[in-house]
Amino acid sequence: MYDDSPLLRDALKAAHATSWAELARPGAFLTGAQRLAAVSATRAAADCALCARQRGALSPFTVTGTHDSSVEDTTGPTLGASLVDMIHRLSTDPGRLTRAWFDEAIAAGISVETYVELVSLVTTSVIVDTLHRSLGLALPDLPEPIAGNPTGEKNPDPVDNGAWLPVLAAAQDLAESGLPTVPNIVRAMGLVPSAVTLFFRTFRPHYQLKDIKLAISQAQAEFIAARVSSLNECFY
């Protein structure tokens, strides 16, 4: 991965390679094959006709149908229509997800823990694929799935902090940045520790809250971050 990209830092390359390999292993609540199917569905969402129609609607929930599948989706393990819909909406229209949509998905039988694992898989692959595409690189091939059962590991003591789902308990001491030492964004997937590890291993080499270790300044990085948040209509 990134063999022809000398300007990417070694720590980022190593982190992404580790995360990419981890996608293929059994997770906490999904098998390796299911995890890879989730990544494949994330990729398929980019060209999905139903997603395009939903994005064009005043409310994305007024347009229903069947999402387009990738070759891997149709020949590999099935995730089921509900999980595929969740993945596609999270991939293509994240700024218009709602509490009601989340509650309905959970009421329909998707466990919160599985949802958290999916969020981690989708967002991790979004980072890796966005970086590849933005640099003009071919997307990396998916690894071969590793057999085995999900571990079932979850945080036994999550807390309610007003998010849609239980989060990691953490002290709220303020760091120099003005944010807590463990900000809510780090706590968000805390119900499933391996989901947090996968995502933040991938994310951390890209950005630091202060003394950023990049050739652009902290202010330039914050400008980009803020612009992405605005484009994606992200409140946080």
Partner 1 sequence: MLLRASGQQDERDYDLNTVTRGEGDSGVPHSDLLRSLTEQTIRAEWSLLADTRARAGTIMGEQQMVDALTVAAAFNGITRVADATGIPLDDNTQAVTVAMRASMGIDEYAYAVKSARFS
Q: Site residues for partner 1, window 42-101 (CB under 8 A)?
A: 46, 59-61, 90-91, 94-101
CA distance 66 to 116: 23
Q: Which is nearer to partner 1, 109 or 162 (CB)?
A: 162
Within 197-236, the residues that bind partner 1 by CB under 8 A are: 199, 202-203, 206-207, 209, 214-236
Closest separation in Å from C-beta 180 to partner 1: 5
Conformation bin of residue 148: beta by default, left when phi > 0, alpha when psi is -120 to 50: left
Contacts with 201 (C-beta within 8 Å, 6 or more apart), sequence order: 15, 18, 19
φ, ψ for residue 111, nearest 5 deg: -70, 150
Within 113-152, the residues that bind partner 1 by CB under 8 A are: 115-116, 119-120, 122-124, 126-128, 130-131, 133-136
φ, ψ for residue 159, nearest 5 deg: -130, 165
Closest separation in Å from C-beta 92 to partner 1: 10
DSSP class of residue 85 equals H
Closest separation in Å from C-beta 167 to partner 1: 7
Within 15-44, the residues that bind partner 1 by CB under 8 A are: none
One of 183, 193, 197, 201 touching partner 1 (CB under 8 A): 183
Closest separation in Å from C-beta 138 to partner 1: 12
Q: Which is nearer to partner 1, 15 or 36 (CB)?
A: 15
Closest separation in Å from C-beta 14 to partner 1: 14
One of 1, 106, 110, 179 touching partner 1 (CB under 8 A): 179
Query: Dihedral sign, CA of 176, 177, 182, 183?
Result: positive
Element (H, E) at 218: helix 218-231
Q: Nearest 5 degrees, angle CA 210-CA 215-CA 219?
A: 45
Q: Which is nearer to partner 1, 26 or 166 (CB)?
A: 166
